[in-house]
Amino acid sequence: MRYLPLLLLILLFSCSTEEDKYPDMAVFSPDMEGKFTFKEIEPVPTYYRDTDKYVFFLTNNSIADARVLIYNKASKKLIKTLALPNNQIRIDTSGSIYGYDEKQGKTFKYVSPAFKLTYLETVSLEYVSDANMEKKYASEIKNQQLKGDALYDFLEDKRYEILEEDVINGLRCITELDKSNTAIAHYKNKEIYLEQSNYLYRGTIIKSKLNGVTDCMPSNYELDKKSYFSASPLDQFDYVTLDYNFKGSNHYVMSVNSENLYYYELKLNKQSTKFKFPLVINNVVNLEDKVIFEVANKYYEVSVME
């Protein structure tokens, strides 16, 4: 570890840097001169997931009132806008939406194609915790004088027997949620929201039984680097690395950061302009007939002056 600063110095000086390739080019600013206007707007739903039939646009974490916009993938028509308790959701290949409502303490599901709201049955696996298992089998533990590894193995065997009957048998796949130690167990004719789902992964016997159980097929990201409604009018045509610098609180934890400069060309309605910026500018999505940029966590609707 004592040679880490030296290695970082070698790395730093081995990295080549460049100068600004276009010093006369304007730096992006919402009020910069030209034929375009950049109106700051509230954050908008951006591309999140897609399936064979649907495309989903979701608000980001800065939105107090989360919502998801659902489009018909083929026709590009808006089907439905759903209000959400938060934007921590999962979407499966059929287009059904899963999430957890903290206020109601329930797991919700919007079932495609009608996207009707339902709530799932909740089952907590806390009843197979060590403490509860020791209470349940207190007489057997006492009679067999179980301690240490012997007690551990006994509890694992009993936990497996219970979970196999109550949860694992018939289990098709699992959808893990963002909420810690929670998951949705999918069966042929029902779905159950599991709290303390970590008990499904304790012990080699249980893990081996789950070998054939996979994560449920999620929706995909096919449109993640594309513009769904139309081709992006923004093109990053060049960039340079201007400088490297150290970042770290002490000599054991250090990293090298680079300072970059990105060059863009914007073409819209037969008008064009070029500009540069030290951060990546994202053409969030040409949401229907709007062109929206995300710049340094701010959103701008782009239009041509008349």
In a domain? residue 200: yes
Give the per-residue pLDDT at 11.
44
Give the per-residue pLDDT at 69.
92
Please state, in angstroms and as integers, the Cα–Cα distance from residue 99 to each residue in 76, 184, 201, following that order: 25, 10, 22
What is the distance between the alpha carbons of residues 14 and 41, in angstroms, rounded to a whole number? 43
In a domain? residue 225: no
Give the per-residue pLDDT at 156.
87
pLDDT in tens, the chain (306 residues): 444 444 444 444 444 557 889 999 999 999 988 899 999 988 778 888 999 999 998 887 666 678 899 999 988 889 999 999 888 899 998 999 999 988 888 899 999 999 999 999 999 999 999 999 999 999 999 999 989 999 988 998 898 889 889 988 888 888 888 777 888 999 989 999 999 888 887 765 565 666 656 667 777 877 755 667 777 888 999 999 887 454 554 444 444 455 889 999 999 888 999 999 999 998 766 666 678 888 888 889 998 887
Residue 167 and residue 111 in one domain: no
In a domain? residue 222: no
Residue 139 and residue 193 in one domain: yes
Domain boundary (163, 182, 215) is at 215
Task: Find the domain containing 262 and state its range.
Answer: 4-43+230-304
Domain boundary (64, 95, 119) is at 119
Domain boundary (169, 188, 215) is at 215
The residue with tokens 């806008």 is 81
Neighbours of 265 (CB within 10 A): 14
In a domain? residue 221: no
Give the per-residue pLDDT at 3.
42
Give the per-residue pLDDT at 14.
44
Residue 264 and residue 209 in one domain: no
The secondary structure of the chain, three-state, reads: CCCHHHHHHHHHHHCCCCCCCCCCCCECCCCCCCCEEEEEECCCCEEEEECCCEEEEECCCCCCCEEEEEEECCCCCEEEEEEECCCCEEEECCCCEEEEECCCCEEEEEECCCCEEEECEEEEHHHHCHHHHHHHCHHHHHHHCCCHHHHHHHHHHHHHHHHHHHHHCCCCEEEECCCCCEEEEECCCCEEEEECHHHHHCCHHHHHHHHHCEECCECECCCCCCCCCCCCCEEEEEEEEEEEEEECCCCCCCEEEEEEEEEEEEEECCEEEEEEECCCCEEEECCCCCEEEEECCEEEEEEECC
In a domain? residue 188: yes
Residue 140 and residue 209 in one domain: yes
**Count of domains in the chain?**
3
Q: With beta carbons less than 8 A apart as the criterion, state whether 133 and 143 touch.
A: no
Residue 201 and residue 273 in one domain: no
Give the per-residue pLDDT at 1.
47
Give the per-residue pLDDT at 208.
61
Q: Regarding beta strands 121-124 and 191-195, do their DSSP bridges make them parallel or antiparallel, or are they unpaired?
A: parallel
